[in-house]
Structure 1
Amino acid sequence: MSENQTTNSLADLKTLVAGTPAGEGLEGTAITREPKRDAQGRSYATGRRKNAIARVWIKPGKGEIVINGKPQATYFARPVLRMLLAQPFLVADRYQQFDVICTVVGGGLSGQAGAVRHGLSRALTYYEPGLRPILKKAGFLTRDPRVVERKKYGKAKARRSFQFSKR
């Protein structure tokens, strides 16, 4: 079959794909990604969760995490939030191998911690593309789409009605 031939049915497509040099179709092909690093050797990514947006830079180091100019233990006082930040490194087996600098705006502390985790995961995949399948399987690269529902007119909150009075 020629390269410019059009397929009219799925059977034609199957024979066209079976004839490719990869053998049994397109399953054997793999995308090779190159690391994205700036002049200082850092990788940058943006993470989002609820209304929080985190800009994250990572570079090889001793494992120091600085958020909005403060150390991680000061900014996120709750241990659960600090555990959230460590998850991408633990899953990728890179704990305390990278220094992290990030700025976070919007939302509350929980949303900000989730945004930093999302940004960290993305920055790790930019720094080491081989970590992408591990972090993807753990679900750290997926942006959590849940956001607060807006308040509707005629309602007390988003869905809550005013108290009904019969008399």
Structure 2
Amino acid sequence: MRLVAVAAIGLLALTGCGKKGRHSSGSGGFVSGGAGDAPLSTPSGLPTDLPTGLPSGVPSYTPGYTPSYTPSPSYSYSTAPSYDTDARNDISASGCDYNESTSSLEYTLTVNNNETQSMRFSISIVWNDNADQGLLGSDYQSVTVAPGSSQTVKATSYRTLYKATTFTCKIQSAYKFAN
């Protein structure tokens, strides 16, 4: 504590803070003393014996263990399951027909999941007129099938036919994704 006080007083004495009559000349540097300035002297009452070593009897602390750094765990990545996303070979279809009572084109699809995980199937179906190759209707089905299972869905497109029409049913696209 005494050392801090001595340093602070010494700093004040060296910089000339607190003295009257000193003004800056505007040159931006230190101002030298004028004719009437007294030389700087050591303030009275300051101790002359400053401590030199550490005080005795201060306990030292050494931890009973050595702290160590453990890096974050390493992760192992498994490869993504390999399967063909094209699901047209996983679907069997039957019953391409027109239901007059409901005025709807119908197509029955059986979706088989031969994978070892649950899969979501996205299927787009179209009905085309055989005479002019025009589009009669379309439907989209999304179905989730458990591993090793199959599920039957009915694709439907509502359309009133006014004349005898021959048409074909077609799975336009079919994709499967891990669920």
Which of the five TM-score ranges fits, normalised by the shorter chain? Answer: under 0.3
Mark the structure with the bigger radius of gyration. Answer: 2
Structure number having the greater strand percentage: 2
Q: Which structure ranks higher in relative contact order (CA pairs < 8 Å, sequence separation ≥ 6)?
A: 1
Query: TM-score w.r.t. structure 2 length?
Result: 0.16
Structure number having the greater helix percentage: 1
Query: TM-score w.r.t. structure 1 length?
Result: 0.17
